[in-house]
Amino acid sequence: MANEKIDEILLTMEDKFDKAIDVLADSYAAVRAGRANPHILDKVQAEAYGGMSPLNQLGNISVTDARCLVISPWDKSLLKPIEKAIQQANLGINPTNDGTVIRLVFPELTEERRKDLVKQVRKMGEEGKVAARNIRREAMDGIKKLKNGKEISEDEASNAEADIEKAIAKCTEKVDKMVAAKEKELMTI
């Protein structure tokens, strides 16, 4: 019974670590690296048919070359609302509307802008590590409650705590690798 509770705590912790890594990966997908990336539009919503809808539900988003995204709305009457939504999203890119499609041309990143983006990426990585440490604290508290409630022995508690430390080390290592990869991508011209 006690081992099941420990396993449940460890599984919950692993699941939360995976979710934290996924959130960081999604955040990194939205950081533009001077190349056209459709994920930069994931959080942009345009007014359509009386409500707000994500752009990827209003048309086809494609990458035509390294620096150009093309949005082809399924309904041409949505060109203006999509254009307006992109401008209001403050992406740093001005959309051009030719009457049939909207083009987003990504400018070349300056050295200063690249360094700012690297700082932003490092901050996101640190936030990911903080989330992982909070998850570890929750798991450690769960183990302490079991130990204080005499549901598990000292040895079982110390083994579980060692497993938690190994898991946080793996999670932190993943975050560090993600940060390094994104930094390299940003600084590569």
Give 139's contacts (C-beta < 8 A, 6+ positions apart).
9, 10, 12, 13, 164
35/150 Cα distance (integer angstroms): 57
> For residue 43, what pLDDT band results from cuts at 50, 70 and 90?
confident
Over residues 2-35, the pLDDT tens digits come to: 578 888 988 999 999 999 999 888 888 777 666 6
> Is 87:102 a contact under the CB 8 Å cutoff?
no
> Is 56:48 a contact under the CB 8 Å cutoff?
no
Q: What is the pLDDT of residue 84?
A: 87
90/9 Cα distance (integer angstroms): 41
Over residues 67-113, the pLDDT tens digits come to: 788 888 888 888 888 888 888 877 777 888 888 888 888 777 778 87
All structural domains of the chain: 2-30+110-187 (1.10.132.20), 38-105 (3.30.1360.40)
Q: What is the pLDDT of residue 34?
A: 63
Verdict on whether the full-model pTM lies above 0.85: no
Outline where the chain has alpha helix (H): 2-29, 79-88, 111-148, 154-187
Q: What is the mean pLDDT of residues 141-158?
A: 88
